[in-house]
Amino acid sequence: MGLLSQLIFLPLAGALIVLAMPGKAHKAIRVFSFAVTLLLFALSLRLLPGFVGDGSFEFAEKAIWIGAFGIGYHLGVDGISLFLVLLTTFLAPIVYLSAWNSIDARVKEFSFFYLLLQTGMLGAFLALDLFLFYVFWELMLIPMVFLIGIWGGPRKVYAAVKFMIYTMIGSLLMLVAILFLVKYAAGVHGGRLSFDFQDVLGLAIPFDRQILLFAAFALAFAVKVPVFPLHTWLPDAHVEAPTPASAILAGVLLKMGTYGFLRFAMPLFPDAVHYAAPLIAVLAIVSIVYAALVAMVQDDIKKLVAYSSISHLGFAMLGLFTFTVVGAQGGMFTMISHGLTAAALFLLVGVIYERRHTRKIADYGGIARTMPLYSTMFLIVTLGAIGLPGMSGFVGEFLVLVGAFRTSPLYAAAAATGVIFGAVYMLWMVRRVFFGPVTSEANRKMSDLSLREFVVLLPLVAGIVLLGVHPAPLLDRMEKSVARQLERAGVTEVMSPVGYDGDGTQHAPAPEEQ
Amino acid sequence: MNPPLVTGDMLRAAIPFILLAAGGTVVSLAGAWRSKRGALFAALFLVLAFWKLFPLLDLEKGIELWDGAVVADRMSAFLGGMLLLSGLFALIVSPPVLRREGRNRAEYYGLILFSLSGMVLFVSTTNLLVLFLALELMSIPLYVLSGYNRGDDRSGEAALKYFLLGSFSSAILLYGAALLFGATGTINMAAMTGGDPLLATAGAFLVLTGFLFKMAAVPFHMWAPDVYDGAPTPITSFMATSVKIATFGALLRIFSLAGGAANPFAHILTGENAAKILPWLAVMTMTLGNVCALTQTNIKRMLAYSSIAHAGYLLLGLIPGSGAVDAKGILYYLFAYLLMTTGAFTVVIALSTRDKGREVTGVERYAGIGFRRPFLGIAMAVFLFSLAGIPPTAGFFGKYLLFSGAVHRGLTPLVVVAVLNSALSVYYYLRPVVVFYMRDTDTPVRVDDALSLRVASLAAVVLLIWFGCLPNIGSLPGVPALLHWVGSAAAALP
Amino acid sequence: MESVLFWILSVVAVASAVLTVSRSNPLASALSLTVCLVAVAGLFATLSAHFLFIIQLLVYAGAVMVLVIYVIMLLNLKEREMKALGLSGPRVFVSSLVAVFVVALLARAQSGSGGFDPVSPVLDGSARRVAEIIFTSYVYPFEVVSILLLAAVVGVVVLGMKKF
């Protein structure tokens, strides 16, 4: 079994073992599950030394699953998925540790769904067969619905069902598109059915078909991102979800949408992507600005962070749809950086929620005096999130703006306002929560971070700073894969130093310029 | 010149039916002495029939006897196997229910065997006369069985409704058969040629109407919710699965009759006129089923409407489009449907109670049961997610086969409607899961822990996940994969 | 001679059928139905389907009608309730629609475009001939019928049991 398969099936095996453990043995289950996630992270680090980053799919594993229908088991990792996989495995132990005390009921079920979720997410990032991808795509949905629905807040059922329905509508239409695509590919390849990503690439699909297929894919991914106006499930899901589920949802799950765009929607339907690009770019900008404005008026910290997620992922989307390598790299970097900051923010909110059982901004104030360590952490993460130079958020947003400026200065100008709004709502919230006089007696008695909480947050904060100071390792490894992916999407301006090995991909004729 | 009355071939081909019919007789008779052991006796005959049916699965060439009265081929064998499985589930899950109500009589099992014999016959004939007799033979015991809970008004209502509408539909089918006979001069559907087009068309559509009644397709679905709700739950489960298998199995045979365009019956059903009607039927059936299921609070009614919706998905497979009937997709889906529906009803049985002679099957009282009864909860979740078509379950793979087949036959718009329907169905399939896991209550509830119920649901869970993940690998060493069987059965059609 | 008989029997059959549906007194309807069934039996006889003729008389005109009348007596309908059974606009409309459809189909069959020759020389309705056919080429359906009847009997017993 290859490394990638091990990554996918390790959590699944862990989940099944958890299922067999006695439900009362909370401690044992926690230790075991944590060990599994740690092992998972360690295992994923083995990807780094052998990774070349030439834009091809490395560590590839290919096997026949259901041969008669051309369904294969094809995994591979490139510069795009590598860091998303690492992000997933990095967050897995951290988030699990953060839930050590806050999830005290039904620990067994929680651990089961948590590990199953890891399998689903890793599978979706690593799958290179459309059928396999779809299976994992749906598989990660179910545990998340349970995590929200069982351990969530008062309106958990509403949030869980809404999340499920939104995602299902999108993904089922994507299924039809996949089926149609495979049928079309079979026509081109002389009747040979294949769901393999490389077999469905570069088919000169007629434009009218491409538009419909792209729309189906785009809907599935845009719901996940989420792009305005499909975002309404997100605030509900985040507010009701328990802290660990929120952290995973914002940290990893949302990236599934942007990843899907870059991996599948853009290269598969180059003409349609270029046709729809202005619309999507505008929607991305609307997401950035609108979500920032809505975030500004929130009185609930968690909801504010949720809206900030929408805003940040708008940046990632905009980066991809600038059709420049630098912009797309910026988008990818924003995804990674947001994975760290959003997860950290949700965990931080969870810390004070555990103490006070409120998330209202107005209930806090002057916490900096009672919880200095916590406040420091929060401030660093906030600065990372708003894109202060030297922090991870800055690199991504800067590159996106550079790319956007090349495509259209108007985009860049509009998106830049989002950066400003972002700084405003985050810093305003920080001021109200952490500074000023201590207003309530309860706040005065709050204890600072425990050792466990500190250990949970430290890697995240370190990551945010490290990526901001030294982004090159990520950007270098990403560049060629991003360039290759854009090339497949028919972007010809790519200035790449290395001659890519021809993989038989045909490029669609030059897209109509809008 | 008379042909020999019984030959070896005849015996081989007809033996499953004979065993089931004989079993029905013996078990009913046994009721006079040892009425407590009815299920066991019936299971004995069923297993015997299974054993005799098994060799037919590998039949190289079909056996046709008595002018198409019996057609034994891999298709009929596979369908027969599914029907027997459905019957076996009914025999396994019935005793706990009947015992706790004190009406565990052998006649009940005898009637199940009689009904099964009719179904087995129904899917293995091309003779209109036998088709009609088989339809009656499978239906009459079901009319009686749905009224088996005589203390419950709803059960009686169910029986009467089912009987009246069922007889009506049988009459329509018979009338259609008569017209077909009038047009072509033969009652062997496979041998029909020529014939007056108007008569044949009227006949073909009337026969089709009879089928649509039985499968509860819109607009002939009115009886289904009341009957499913009123009938004893094991019978509902049996009815919902086996009747669907039998009708779709027989339709598969009719839609792909030999003779192609020369055969008026098959030609009309797969021709232009039907191509205009069938898609609408499918769309209406799945949409109405799903929309009505949304508002149901009684889980039996919900599953009844969901079974209507599933008939709609299955109808997709019958629409020829630019190709032939999708026998593979239909067969696979039927198998998945059998497992998941039986499974869901088994959990309903375990959770149902009786209040003043009435069966109570609302889910709302079972808040949080998923944690107190982990197995029951997981099983129900698997069944419902499978019904909703979420991977990695057989329900998803079945949907994939049906939808992908339809896309390949150029019916993509219909598939879009079908997946939107699937998305809609997620909402109501999720509801019991929500109640089981996401609501808390401390009210103690009674759960039937009978071993047979657990065995039945465990088997269904394991098979559903197996067939969803590895449809191309046999689940037992030496047993061919489900996909292999489905393929070989489909290949037996002309 | 045969055609005279045919016309007389047909007119009687149709007229009594119309009476069956138009009478509001169930007993009158039932008696009209009996007449109708007897007339149809006569038609069978003229087609030299002797076996069918006897069966029609014994089973339908005899046994079934006795049952029908028995049920009517058991129900013991009041005068007022009987009124509701009479003809009404919509009922006439729907039934004439169905009648027109059936007649059109039959006319179509008569016109003989396609189809088979209804008067084939082997058509011999004697009991011997029927028995020969039933017990050779239709032996299987015949046995199925017996199972069907058995199943129905068991079903009736189950429904009729006083208590389980």
pLDDT tens digits along A178-218: 999 998 888 888 888 888 888 888 788 888 889 999 999 99
* Top-ranked range on mean pLDDT: pick from A209-218, A442-451, B197-206, B272-281: A209-218
Average pLDDT value for residue range A366-393: 86
The chain B residues in contact with chain A (CB within 8 A) are 371, 374, 385, 390-392, 396, 400, 403-404, 407-408, 412, 415-416, 419-420, 422-423, 426-427, 430, 434, 437-439, 471-472, 483, 487
pLDDT number for residue B33: 77
ipTM rounded to 2 decimals: 0.90
Instruction: Tell me the pLDDT tens digit for each residue of A10-61.
Output: 999 999 999 888 888 888 999 999 999 999 999 999 888 888 888 888 888 8
DSSP 3-state of A168:
helix
The reply to whether B2 falls in a domain is no
Of B407, B438, B483, the CB nearest to A183: B407
Best mutation site among A69, A161, A176, A181 for testing chain B: the one with the most B CBs within 10 Å? A176
C residues 68..107 contacting B (CB < 8 A) = 105
Tell me, yes or no, whether B280 lies in a domain: yes
The shortest C-alpha distance from C156 to chain B (Å) reads 8
> Smallest CA–CA separation between B407 and chain A, in Å?
6
pLDDT of residue A500: 35
Residue to mutate among B332, B384, B416, B486, with most A CBs inside 10 A, is: B416
Whole-number mean pLDDT of chain B? 86
Q: Which chains touch A (3 or more CB pairs under 8 A)?
A: B
Of residues A304 and B358, more confidently modeled: A304
User: Does C133 contact B at CB distance below 8 Å?
Assistant: no
Whole-number Å distance between alpha carbons of B392 and B374: 20
DSSP string, A54-95: SSS-EEEEEEEEEGGGTEEEEEEE-HHHHHHHHHHHHHHHHH
Nearest Cβ partner for B427 among A139, A161, A176:
A161
Angle A425-A426-A431 (CA atoms, 0-180°, nearest 5)? 95
The structural domain count of chain B equals 1
Q: Summarize chain C as % helix, strand, coil (round to 5).
A: 75, 0, 25
- Inter-chain residue contact B141 with C150, CB threshold 8 Å: no
Whose tokens are 């979420």? That residue is B390
Q: What is the pLDDT of residue C110?
A: 67
* Contact: A165, B412; criterion CB under 8 Å: no
CB contact under 8 A, B483 and A66: yes
> What's the pLDDT tens digit per position in B153-197?
888 889 999 999 999 999 999 999 988 888 888 888 888 887 777
Q: Do A67 and B472 touch (CB under 8 A)?
A: yes
Residue A328 · residue A403 · CB < 8 Å:
yes
pTM of the model: 0.90
Touch between chain A and chain C: 3 or more Cβ pairs under 8 Å: no
Instruction: Note whether B66 contacts C138, CB cutoff 8 Å.
Output: yes
Q: How confident is the model at residue B458 (pLDDT cuts 50, 70, 90)?
A: very high
Contact A160 B408 (CB under 8 A): no
Contact call for residues A357 and A488 (beta carbons, < 8 A): no
Say yes or no to pLDDT of A139 above 80: yes
CB spacing of B110 vs C152 below 8 angstroms: no
Tens of pLDDT, residues A458-502: 999 999 998 888 888 888 888 888 888 888 887 765 444 333 333
Q: Phi and psi dihedrals of B20, rounded to 5?
A: -70, -45
Residues of B in contact with C110 (CB under 8 A): none
Does the pLDDT at position B1 exceed 50? no
Domain-embedded: residue B254: yes
Instruction: Give the model's confidence band at B332: pLDDT under 50 very low, under 70 low, under 90 confident, else very high.
Output: very high
- Where chain C has pLDDT below 70, the residues are 1, 82-87, 109-123, 162-164
pLDDT digits (tens, 9 = 90+) for A292-321: 999 888 888 889 999 999 999 998 999 988
The band of A505, judged by pLDDT with boundaries at 50, 70 and 90, is: very low
Distance CA A215, CA A233 (A): 20
Helices (H), B123-196: 128-146, 153-184
For the stretch B37-52, pLDDT in tens is 888 889 999 999 989 8
| Residue whose token pair is 């104030």 | A365
Contact at CB, A175 and B374, closer than 8 angstroms: no
Which residue do the tokens 């009844």 mark? B304
Question: Long-range contacts for B474-482 (Cβ within 8 Å, ≥24 apart)?
Answer: B482/B332, B482/B335
Taking residue A373's Cβ as centre, other Cβ atoms within 10 Å add up to: 12
**What pLDDT, on a 0 to 100 scale, did the predictor assign at position C163?**
65
Confidence category of residue B313, pLDDT binned at 50, 70, 90: very high
What confidence tier does B487 reach under pLDDT thresholds 50, 70, 90? confident
Residue of higher predicted confidence among A504 and C130: C130
Q: Which of B98, B131, B137 to mutate to test the interface with C (most CBs of C within 10 A)?
A: B137
Selected for mutation to probe chain A from B286, B372, B472, B482 (highest A CB count within 10 Å) is: B472
Select from C24, C23, C64, C22 the least CA-distant residue to C40: C64
pLDDT band at B2 (very low <50, low <70, confident <90, very high): low
Instruction: Judge whether B267 lies within some domain.
Output: yes
Span B276-292, mean pLDDT? 91
pLDDT of residue B137 exceeding 90:
yes
pLDDT on residue C119: 46
* Structural domain span for residue B342: 8-491
Domain-embedded: residue B161: yes
Q: Indicate which of A111, A168, A178 best probes the interface with B, i.e. most B CBs within 10 Å of its own CB.
A: A168
Joined tokens for residue A257: 């949408």
Model confidence band, residue B259 (pLDDT cutoffs 50, 70, 90):
low
Mean confidence (pLDDT) of chain A: 86
**Does C113 sit within 8 Å of B196, measured CB to CB?**
yes
A113 touches chain B (CB under 8 A): no
C-chain CB neighbours of B114 within 8 Å are 147, 150-151, 154
Q: Which residue in chain B has the smallest CA separation from C135?
A: B5
pLDDT confidence of B357, banded at 50, 70, 90?
Answer: low
Contact list, A64 vs chain B (CB under 8 Å) = none
Nearest C-alpha neighbor of A347 from the set A463, A427, A497: A463
Model confidence pLDDT, tens digit, residues A64-86: 888 788 888 999 998 889 999 99
Query: Within a domain: residue B372?
Result: yes
Q: What is the mean pLDDT of residues A364-387?
A: 86
Helix locations, C23-138, DSSP H: 26-46, 50-55, 65-75, 79-83, 89-111, 127-135
Q: How far is CA C77 from CA A28, B320, C20, C84, in A?
A: 77, 53, 17, 11
B13-37 tens-digit pLDDT: 888 899 999 999 999 888 777 677 8
Which range is least confidently modeled, A244-258, A333-347, B193-207? B193-207
Tell whether C148 lies on the interface with B, counting CB pairs under 8 A.
yes
Which of the pair, C117 or A422, is modelled with greater confidence? A422
Six-digit token string for B433: 């899961």
pLDDT band, residue B324 (cuts 50/70/90): confident
User: Above pLDDT 70, what percent of chain B?
Assistant: 94
The interface residues of chain A toward chain B in range 331-370, judged by CB-CB distance below 8 A, are none
What residues of chain C lie within 8 A of the CB of B183, using their CB? 109, 114-115
Q: Which two tokens stand for residue B141?
A: 């015991």
Q: Does residue B81 belong to any structural domain of this protein? A: yes
pLDDT-above-90 percentage for chain B:
41
pLDDT > 70: percent of chain A: 96
Question: Chains touching chain C at 3 or more Cβ pairs under 8 angstroms?
Answer: B
Are B403 and A176 an interchain contact pair (Cβ–Cβ within 8 Å)? yes
Token pair in block for residue B447:
């759960």
> What pLDDT score does C115 carry?
47
Q: What is the DSSP letter of B298?
A: B
B3 within a domain of the structure (yes/no) = no
| pLDDT at position A499 | 34
What pLDDT score does B120 carry?
Answer: 93
Contact A139 B392 (CB under 8 A): yes
Show the DSSP H helices in A301-408 as ranges: 301-320, 325-356, 367-370, 372-386, 392-407
Instruction: Note whether C86 and C79 are within 8 A (CB).
Output: no
